Structure 1
């Protein structure tokens, strides 16, 4: 092998090592982000406590085994960090414990439910572009405001702004 070929192989080896190190760092950050999911609920009482807290609430029903739910994890973590103390974001893994969703009209995951400070459902804005919908009980009373599918952190923060949260 001549000098040019050795040099090329050496450069390629360095690039491969650096790429592997970068990928390991990305996966480590992803794992840290998932481990940072401190707002995951494990009991129905945590949901009830959040709804009576006097803060706006978003409950995200999903699962760690659901692809769209996993894709939304970092968005939830980011949004939760920005609303912490001014609003509450909860994550309920319904594959770990389906009883967490009892009483909620859950059809697919991920699905989010939005509540104002007083525990009433967020009113769907007339110019809604997210696909929010109002769930009504048999008497026609608005019981839940629901979004089915993943949301970005910007969309989540926009909904918290609608609920009166000042998010920078």
Structure 2
């Protein structure tokens, strides 16, 4: 019965083997809005270039570490300091870390980012539809997307520093 539910949940999504496939595009609201911290937003969201939403396709040309998380997720709390510590160095090398906060309240999500020193941007997947599209079965899960928008690796569960470094290095061209 559980397998049937999981298969139905995954229909139309990436499934179990996303490697070498184009990362599904999305456009979602930014956690904290356009004024939230993090790397500069792509132009196009208004006269000042600030947008309240972000599309993955706007980041094409840059490697992306896409991390699905939630403030209520225990393992997410374990990996958050590791991601927060690694992101500034990789940003200098052109890699963008992007969080996908799922099924959460904005207040709790912003408090989570502040508590763990997360300075990169996150988008809000309130319904969990994007997590379903990516075939996410639990939190956290992290996808490593190259500059061409192709998924090169996926990590299920909290990531450690060594594994993170290996995967990020693999998407830097």
TM-score bin (small chain): 0.5 to 0.7
- Offset of residue 102 of structure 1: 5.0
Cα distance between partner residues in 1 of 2:78 and 2:56: 23
Give the whole-Å Cα distance in 2 for the aligned partners of 1:61 and 1:38. Answer: 17
Q: Match of 1:84, SS? A: helix
Correspondence for 2:100 among 92, 96, 100: 92
Q: Deviations over 1:68-89 (max 9, x none)?
A: 0011111111111111141011
Q: Relative contact order (alpha carbons < 8 A, sep ≥ 6): 1 or 2 greater?
A: 2
2:71 to 64, 83, 88: 64
**Which ranges of structure 2 fall in alignment gaps of 5 or more residues?**
1-35, 40-51, 105-125
Q: CA deviation at 1:57?
A: 1.0
Shift of 1:93: 1.0
SS at match of 2:98: strand
The answer as to 2:113 corresponding to 1:113 is no
| 1:37 CA drift (Å) | 7.8
Preserved CA contact (<8 Å) 1:78 1:153: no
Instruction: Check conservation: 1:44, 1:99, Cα contact below 8 A.
Output: no
CA contact (8 A) 2:63 2:146 kept: yes
> Which residue of structure 1 lines up, in the alignment, with residue 30 of structure 2?
none
State the shift of 1:38 in Å. Answer: 3.9
> What is the match of residue 58 of structure 2?
49
Structural RMSD (CA): 2.6
Q: How does 1:11-22 map to 2 (within 5 A)?
A: none
Q: Distance in 2 between matches of 1:153 and 1:38?
A: 21
Q: Which has the higher helix share?
A: 1
* TM-score, with length taken from structure 1: 0.54
How do 1:66-85 residues align onto structure 2 when only pairs under 5 Å count? 66-85=73-92
1:156 aligns with one of 159, 164, 172: 164
Q: Which has the larger radius of gyration?
A: 1
Aligned-pair CA distance for 1:67? 0.6
**1:116 shift after superposition:** 1.0
Q: Normalising by structure 2, what TM-score?
A: 0.52
